[in-house]
Each structure stands twice: as C-alpha cells, then as structure tokens.
Structure 1
Amino acid sequence: MNNNNLKKSVMVLAVTSALGTSMGASASVDLYNEDGTSFSVDGYFNAFYVTREDEVPDTRDTRIKMGFLPNTIGFNFSKDVGDLVLGGRSSFWTTINDSLDSPTDTAIDVRQFFATVDGAFGQVLIGKDFGLFARSNIFLDEILMGFGSPGAAGGVSFGNIRAGYPYPTPSAQITYRSPDFSGLQIAVGALDPADTVTGAGDENSAPRMESEITYKVDLDGLILTGWLNGRYQSSTNGTTTIDSSGVGYGIKGSVAGFTFSASGFDSKGNSPVLVVNEALTEESADGYLVQASYAFGPNKIVLSHGKTDAEILDLKTESNTFGFFHDVNSNFKLVAEYNMYEDKSRTSGVISTDADTIAIGAIVNF
C-alpha cells in the first residue's frame, strides 16, 4: 500500500469516523426512571482555537476546530424484564468543521446503535459499536479529551491514532462480555469483516473475530489496569488470500495523583489507521504509546509520546504532546495543548509532515 491509500484512510477517518467511548458520557440526564424502566440522554460539546505550523510545505494555519472527541449526543434505554435487563444505546457524532464545504449542512455519523441483554451470565451486545482490538489502548488515552496530532481539514484531530495505536472502527457485531470476576472481564465478538482483497469473487467465509481481556485491581491505593486484545480475519478472491491478525496490550497505574501508562500493538495485514474495505498486503505494523500525568486539585498535566512503524504503509510516525486540563466544574473543562507530530517514509526517510500545533479549547458535557 502506498501513501495515497493512507490519505484515503485518513480522510475517511476524519469525515466519517468520530471518536468516543462506548459507555457514553461521564454524566447523563434521566428523562424517565420508574418501575424498572429508564431513559437518559448525554451530550459532549467542544471547540478548540488551533494554530499549526508545518515545516514541510512551510505553512501556518489558524482554525476553530473540534478536538479528538467530536460533538456528541447519546440516548440510553434500560428495562428490567424478569431476570434480564434489556438495554440499548444510540449515539450521534457530528463535525463542526464541514459547513464551509457544504453550507448549512452538517455530517452526522452514528457511531453506536446497539441493544444489550444483561443477566447472571454477563452481557450480549447486538448492533453497531466500537471494535475490541485496540479498544482500551484508545479509551484509556490520557489525551482522549484533548486534541493531539493533526487531522484532516473537515473533521476531528487524530489524537494518537496512527502514532501509537489504530482506531477501533465501529462495526456491526455480536459481542459477549463476561461478568466482572473480581476485576477480570473477558469480551469476545464476531464483527462484520472488512474486504481486504479486490477483484471478482471476493469472499469472507467467516466474520472478523476480536477479543479483549481487562483486569483492574486496587492495591492499597495503587490502582492498576491491564489489558490484552486481538483481531483475526481472512479474506480471499480465489487468487489472493489476506490473513489479518493483530494484538494490542497495555498497563496503567495511578497513585496519589500520578498516573503512568504504556501500551502498544503489533499487527499483520491490518492498516495502522482504521478498518475499511480496501486491498491490503500481509505486511506488518507496530507501535507504542507511553504517558505520564499528574492531577492536583482541579488540574491535570499530561506528557505523551507515541510512535508507529508501518511496513504496510511505508510509514513511520512520532507524536509528542504536552497537555494541561482544568476542571471549572464537573461539566465544564478547559484544555491547552502543544503537539509535535512527524511522519515520513520508512524506506526513503522523506518527511511528509512536520507540524507543531497549539490548541486551546473548552468542553461542556452533561
């Protein structure tokens, strides 16, 4: 795959693949909660003043953009039925940066539209949700509510996507999650497969299988979270077969306001950006992300360093971020970030992007 394929994937991500956690916002408003039936709504709104200088084309640009998480509204449903709890979530993610391209029109993307069945056995999810491969890598990113590395003009920034981890693209799926066994939980899902070969007779004889194991424990004030996730699928068109596999992993520890985390991934036959229908090879990609933060009062300082080395895209990236977060209250946050991002050809060493970004933003959520 060449860099044109990367640019295509990046544009798809920026315009149609917004970021967010599958569990909804941290706060929500109950609209109805009686007789075992509840309905609630949550929202997330943000905007950043962004100044960027890219040394390669020697350009300087100032924008008003949304951050790594786009603006979102979500609706949640739950109903007790005997020994089961039936639930559902639909969430709608929108860019605030497409109006100049399509006046009075705004792209709305449905990241989640699923139902859940919970019982003593655990939970079964049916519908559309984020994938399991690289899921905790991104959802536990310390700059998830920040800005991170550059994105395309009409969409979200990329945070540490393709500079530490790939994106767990929301997909149609049937996923089982086990009960919480003293901090240990297992998830296994069958997801709609991606077409990784082209030509007549494309076949996917089995779904894309993904899984994740997470473990969280409190050791006298030291809170540790570890995870291991993976993916496998095979596609063929009769003459070409692409076997895709990947593993993601990480550990995060917090004590007395300090948080340290390290995560990584290693894959073959997978794009290090996101899952889409496109012809791939069985070349490899790997990356890592290390972060440290310190929270004091309503403030948090974050240092982040990520890299990806992708043979499959002939790409090497590096992203370094310094972030400052201030909670005005539980529903209002201010953010200031400085990011240095570089990508280049891993074979020729030619640099494609060498950008420094300053982003100052505000976040309101409910």
Structure 2
Amino acid sequence: MKKTLLATAIAGAMCASAAQAATVYNQDGTQVDLYGNVQLGYRSVDTGDGSVDDIFDNGTTLGVAAEHQVNPGLIAYLKLELDGFAGDELKSTPYGSGDTAYAGMKGNFGDVKLGSYDTLIDDWVKDPVDGSWYAGVYNSASYLAGDNNDREGDQLTYKSPSFGGLQFAVGTQYKGDAETDNRVESDSTASFFGGVKYTVGALDLAAVYDNLGTYDGTVAGNGDYDAGDAYGLSAQYAMAAWTLSAKYERYDGTDDTEALTNVDNANMYAVKANYAYGMGNLYATYQYVDQDLGDNDSESLNQVMLGADYSLTSAVTYFVEGTMYDEQDDEGDFVATGLAFTF
C-alpha cells in the first residue's frame, strides 16, 4: 500500500497563528497583519530495513492577513501563507512553494472563501486527533493513489453562521481542463464536500462527507478510475486542563483503488487526550485501523502517537513527537524534535 508519509507530515505540521501578529496597517477600514514562524527540527524515520535522519524545516512560514470593512455587516478578507523556505538549508535551496492563499467575504450570511486551504474533513475530523507539530496517524488522504499535493487547492467553501450551535458547510474543489494536475483528460472535474458541526457548551460534534471527485479519472495510464469517497465523524470535549477527542473516519474505496493501492476500504477509529500543564501540552493518540484488502483479506493496524511541547515564552516553543504506524518492519515510524519561534 502506498503511503504518502512525508506529504501527510508536512500537511499536518502546525501552521502559524496570527495571535501574535503585528499590525502593519490599520486605516480607512482596512487592517493588515504580518506574522510568521521559523520551525527547525531533527527527525529519524524508520525505512523498514534501517533508518534515515536529518535536520529539517518543519513548516517555516511567513504570513499576511488582511480585512476590509465593506459595510457594518460585511467584511472582505484574505490570507497568504508562504512556506517551503527550507530554513535549514536556505542558502542552497531555492524557494518554490506555498501553503495557504485564499480570499473571502463574511457577514451575517456566513462565510464564503476561495483558494487554497485545509480541507473540511481535515479541519473537522482529522485535526482533533492529529499530531500538533510533525505528523499524526493515518487519515482518509493516506489512501489516495498518486500525487495528492493539490488536495488543498482550488477550493470554494461556504460556511453558515451558527444557528443555536448548529453550523453547516458545503463546497467543491474544481479542476479545469487547463490544469496540469487535472486527472481527467480533456475534461473539467469538480468534487463535492459537506458537513455539519454542532457545539453545545464544551462539546463539539462534527460529520463530514467528501466524494473525492477530483481524484476520479485517468491515473497512471490505467484508464477510468473511481477514487472512492471519504466520511468522518468527530467529537471533542474540553474540561479544565484536559481536551478529549475521538473520530471515526472511513475511506470507502473501489475495485480501482484496490488495484493501485491494495486497499479496498479502510476504517479508522481514534481517540486522543491532551493535557495542558500551563507551559505546554502532553498528548497521546491511539488509532485502530481496519483495512479491507479485497478477496476476503484484511489487515488491522494499531497506531500510537505521543507528543509533548514546552513554551519557554509565548513566542518560543520546543516539541518532541513520535508515531508508530504498525506497518511491516516498522516502516514509517518516526521521532521528531525541534523548536518554533513565532511572531
């Protein structure tokens, strides 16, 4: 089964928060904030017949966020985050990548945004049980065949306002026929995703569906291809210093996915506990993965993630994180440690 470990790791790396952002312009209803971080770390990853290690960039980011008050009930906004700086080897590695880039409008009607950003199933289902810094346990994107680096791009999403704690979201990822990463030859494709979220007190509940429509099509010369669907449920409860989370996520594959990845479908059941001890967090995730390999064959995995971080100040945080994936010969297991300086 093909696993996109490093892509998942980078996608799951903690993004900068604008909480410490510096306001560089605030006039005539427009506010512009500048923020960023430098994250450098050391990792050791098991390859199955040994291990490899390096000092690496864990998502160094420079970000700009802006808002403009169109009228008392309408705000236009944008966010641009650039990463891929390879801060550990910046002088020898040219910059050539990015992270988040979107623009939108929000008001009493809800929130509409267009661009590149985390998928809804990641936000509402994966993130509550995922790793805080480097990488967590498997999710539905781990089973997508081929290159899925475009998973977050070309999205349009509408999120409703909260109706007594209930919120819904719908959206699409659109790949036009001029796109080089379009998997369908000479045709445009669009996915559909949607979800509902309910908040009552300290409890958050969410359900998300994604038809993965832009992953259908022609893959590696194999003809027509059905990438399947993804579903997810999550629950998160905060009490004092503890946050408890759980998810059920299903990758519902097809005969096509089985032919390329050896997995027909996969069910993922995870629980996470996070303890905020004042200067940082201690957290652990356990996930049980039930994989249907077709032909009445199956495989189960017991995955464990452990992590801790410590904030020397509000701007400087040290972390250590490790995950065991329970694959053959321990392939993919890792330990990572490092620091982040944010502003």
TM-score category of the 2 structures, normalised to the smaller one: 0.7 to 0.9
Q: Which residue of 1 aligns with 2:147?
A: none
Q: Which residue of 2 aligns with 1:346?
A: none
- Looking at structure 1, the residues matched to 79 and 182 of structure 2 have their Cα atoms a distance apart, in angstroms, of 33
- Looking at structure 1, the residues matched to 14 and 323 of structure 2 have their Cα atoms a distance apart, in angstroms, of 23
Aligned ranges 1:29-178 → 2 under 5 Å: 29-52=22-45, 56-57=48-49, 59-67=50-58, 70-82=59-71, 83-94=73-84, 96=86, 99=89, 104-141=92-129, 143-145=131-133, 147=134, 158-160=135-137, 163-166=138-141, 169-178=151-160
Q: Which runs of 4+ in 1 moved over 6 A?
A: 194-199, 278-282, 312-315
* Distance of aligned partners of 1:241 and 1:65 in 2 relative to their CA distance in 1, 3 Å threshold: closer
- Looking at structure 1, the residues matched to 176 and 132 of structure 2 have their Cα atoms a distance apart, in angstroms, of 26
Contact 2:77 2:104 in 1 (8 A): yes
* Distance of aligned partners of 1:14 and 1:182 in 2 relative to their CA distance in 1, 3 Å threshold: closer
- Looking at structure 2, the residues matched to 22 and 325 of structure 1 have their Cα atoms a distance apart, in angstroms, of 15
Q: Which residue of 2 aligns with 1:153?
A: none
* Distance of aligned partners of 1:183 and 1:66 in 2 relative to their CA distance in 1, 3 Å threshold: farther
Q: As a proportion of its length, which structure holds more helix?
A: 2
User: Deviation at 1:31?
Assistant: 0.7
Query: What is the SS of the residue equivalent to 1:329?
Result: coil
Long gaps (5+) in structure 2: 143-149
Query: What is the SS of the residue equivalent to 2:124?
Result: helix
Query: What is the SS of the residue equivalent to 2:276?
Result: strand
Query: What is the SS of the residue equivalent to 2:126?
Result: helix
User: Deviation at 1:46?
Assistant: 1.5
Q: How many residues align?
A: 320
Q: Considering only aligned residues, what root-mean-square deviation do their CA atoms show, in Å?
A: 3.7
Structure 1 position 189 matched with structure 2 position 180 = no
- Looking at structure 1, the residues matched to 94 and 300 of structure 2 have their Cα atoms a distance apart, in angstroms, of 33
Query: What is the SS of the residue equivalent to 1:94?
Result: coil
Paired letter, 1:263: K
Aligned ranges 1:154-303 → 2 under 5 Å: 158-160=135-137, 163-166=138-141, 169-192=151-174, 203=187, 207-218=190-201, 223-234=202-213, 235=216, 240=224, 242=226, 244-269=228-253, 283-303=264-284
Q: As a proportion of its length, which structure holds more strand?
A: 1
User: Deviation at 1:328?
Assistant: 1.6
Contact 2:121 2:210 in 1 (8 A): yes
1:225-284 deviations in whole A, cap 9, x for unaligned? 1111111255457x74626322111101111212211112112238xxxxxxx9789932
Paired letter, 2:54: R
* Distance of aligned partners of 1:20 and 1:136 in 2 relative to their CA distance in 1, 3 Å threshold: farther
- After TM superposition, the score normalised by the length of structure 2 is 0.78
Q: Which residue of 1 aligns with 2:286?
A: 305
Long gaps (5+) in structure 1: 148-157, 271-277, 344-350
Contact 1:134 1:248 in 2 (8 A): no
Contact 1:92 1:108 in 2 (8 A): no
User: Deviation at 1:209?
Assistant: 0.5
Paired letter, 2:124: S
- Looking at structure 1, the residues matched to 107 and 15 of structure 2 have their Cα atoms a distance apart, in angstroms, of 19
User: Deviation at 1:193?
Assistant: 5.0
